Amino acid sequence: MQNPRNAGRLLLDWYAASRRDLPWRRTKDPWRILVSEVMLQQTRVSVVIPYYERFLERYPAPAILAAAPETEFLALWSGLGYYARARNLQRASRAIAGLGEFPKTYDDIRKLPGVGDYTAAAIASICFAQPHAVLDGNVLRVLSRACADRGDIASSATRVRLKEQAQRMLDPRRPGDFNQAIMELGATICLPKNPQCLLCPLRDLCTGRAEGIQHELPVKLSKRDPIKLAVELYIVEKDGAVLLRHRGPTESRLAGFWELPESRDLPTAERQANLGSFRHTITRHDYEIDVYSALPVKAPKGFRWFPRTDLENLPLTTMSRKALALCVSP
Ligand code: SF4
């Protein structure tokens, strides 16, 4: 791409006129930006907004989350998925509380638990005006197209090259706006399947468009096939209470959460009506889930009965929430 600084200016003008009004764009409070960036990892904006607002209403400062019990903040996170993010956020909140204030430089922010290059660059640029370009999926897509870069975006060599390009485009006087502008362009205009080139502020500078190869970019070589799994879940109810299994601290995923039992967890339970089916994806695992009611059994070790009215405030797996919603919303 020719003239990267000019491209940066065009992006800033476009962003000033077209930006979406999102809750985390009304603040430069680094705690709020950190919460938004962590929630937005692998999760859509429309899904994140209500979680973001509820979470910050309960934990408006890092010291408050630092002192919160795990079951409480996991319940607020329940449904958002990727729960390691919530635990890392608490670890980060404890580190910040220990420092007495939010760290102010890229290097110090990067040292917080669970904070990688992307999040550190986002906070340093948005909250402290430091000239660090961000690189996320949206930015990689925009830059690979704008520069007609055919490198595999999973490779570190391509990422280094595109990061240097972003750094050349970044206006050091407005690094936070630049980073948000290029991410916004990827989220709303330079879309994965259908880039809206005629509406794009970079249309006259974009090499991918000039060469007519924008639909072939970015190149991703490392996509692996999903793993398909069939699961049978049981909803066992007695006197208005539901039988749930606790995922112990040694579980590799979702430790500390409660979930509906699978049929193999309750081999003596008598299966009744089929309540429906749905699909659920976790990273590479593609689950096909059938949900059945089953007659009450004695609760095995690690299981407990919960009144339905208590489920709202329980860290409950998303798969179980979806299954329970097939009969009555928890
Ligand atoms: S011109 Fe098209 S391909 Fe190029 S950056 Fe804009 S939307 Fe993406």
DSSP string for 100-125: TS---SHHHHHTSTT--HHHHHHHHH
Average the pLDDT over each of 61-65, 87-91, 298-302 and give the range with the smallest value: 298-302
The region that residue 3 occupies, defined by phi over 0 for left and psi between -120 and 50 for alpha, beta otherwise, is left
Is the model's pLDDT at 329 over the cut of 60?
A: no
CA distance 182 to 190: 10
Max CA pair span of the chain: 71
**Pocket residue to mutate for ligand 1, from 11, 214, 216, 217, most atoms within 8 A of Cβ:** 214
Q: Which atom of ligand 1 is nearest to the CA of 197?
A: 2
Ligand 1 pocket mutation pick from 147, 188, 206 by most atoms within 8 angstroms of CB: 206
Cα–Cα distance between 105 and 234 in angstroms, integer?
50
- Which of helix, strand or coil describes residue 246? strand
Report the C-alpha gap between 140 and 153 in whole angstroms: 7
Tokens of 110: 């990067």
Q: Which residue has its alpha carbon closest to ligand 1 atom 2?
A: 197
pLDDT per position as a tens digit, 25-54: 999 999 999 999 999 988 899 999 999 999
pLDDT at 214: 95
Tell me if 149 sits within 8 A of 163, measured CB to CB.
no
Residue 83 has pLDDT above 90, yes or no: no
Where helices occur in the chain by DSSP H, the ranges are 4-18, 30-40, 45-58, 62-66, 70-77, 84-99, 106-110, 117-128, 137-146, 156-169, 175-188, 207-211, 318-324
Distance 133 CA to ligand 1 centre (A): 19
Q: Where are the domains of the chain?
A: 4-216, 227-324
> Is the separation of the CB atoms in 236 and 174 below 8 Å?
no
By the 8 A CB rule, do 214 and 208 touch?
yes
Q: Which residues participate in catalysis according to the annotation?
A: 37
Give the pTM: 0.76
* Ligand 1 atom showing the smallest separation from residue 145 Cα: 3
Q: How confident is the model at residue 328 (pLDDT cuts 50, 70, 90)?
A: low
Half-sphere exposure of 253 (CA within 13 A, CB side): 10
**CATH label, 4-216, candidates 1.20.1050.10, 1.10.340.30, 3.30.2420.10, 2.130.10.10:** 1.10.340.30
Ligand 1 neighbours (beta carbon < 6 A): 142, 145-146, 189-190, 195-197, 200, 202-203, 206, 208-209, 214
Considering the chain, what is the average pLDDT of its residues?
Answer: 93
Residue 197, pLDDT above cutoff 90 = yes
Atom of ligand 1 at shortest range from CA of 201: 6
Which is more confident, 191 or 4? 191
- CA–centroid distance, residue 207 to ligand 1 (Å): 9
**What pLDDT shows up at residue 112?**
96
Average pLDDT of span 101-129: 96
Measured in angstroms, how far is the CA atom of residue 272 from the centroid of ligand 1?
54
CA 193 remoteness from chain centre: 21
Read off the tokens for 299: 């609760």
Residue 81, classed as helix, strand or coil, is coil
Confidence band (pLDDT; 50, 70, 90) for 223? low
**Predicted local confidence at residue 248, as pLDDT:** 85
* Percentage of the chain lying above the pLDDT 70 cut: 98
229-266 pLDDT, tens digit each:
999 999 999 999 999 999 988 887 888 899 999 999 99
Of 100-109, 143-152, 204-213, 220-229, where does mean pLDDT reach its minimum? Answer: 220-229
Exposed e or buried b per residue across 229-266, where buried means at least 16 C-beta atoms within 10 angstroms of its C-beta = eebbbbbbbeeebbbbbbbeeeeeebbebbbbbeeebb
| Architecture of the domain delimited by 227-324 | Alpha-Beta Complex (3.90)
Q: CA 272, 273, 274 angle in degrees (round to 5)?
A: 125
How confident is the model over 122-181, as pLDDT tens digits?
Answer: 999 999 999 999 999 999 999 999 999 999 998 999 999 999 999 999 999 999 999 999
Nearest to 129 by CA among 93, 111, 104: 104
pLDDT at res. 221? 81
Mean pLDDT of 78-87: 88
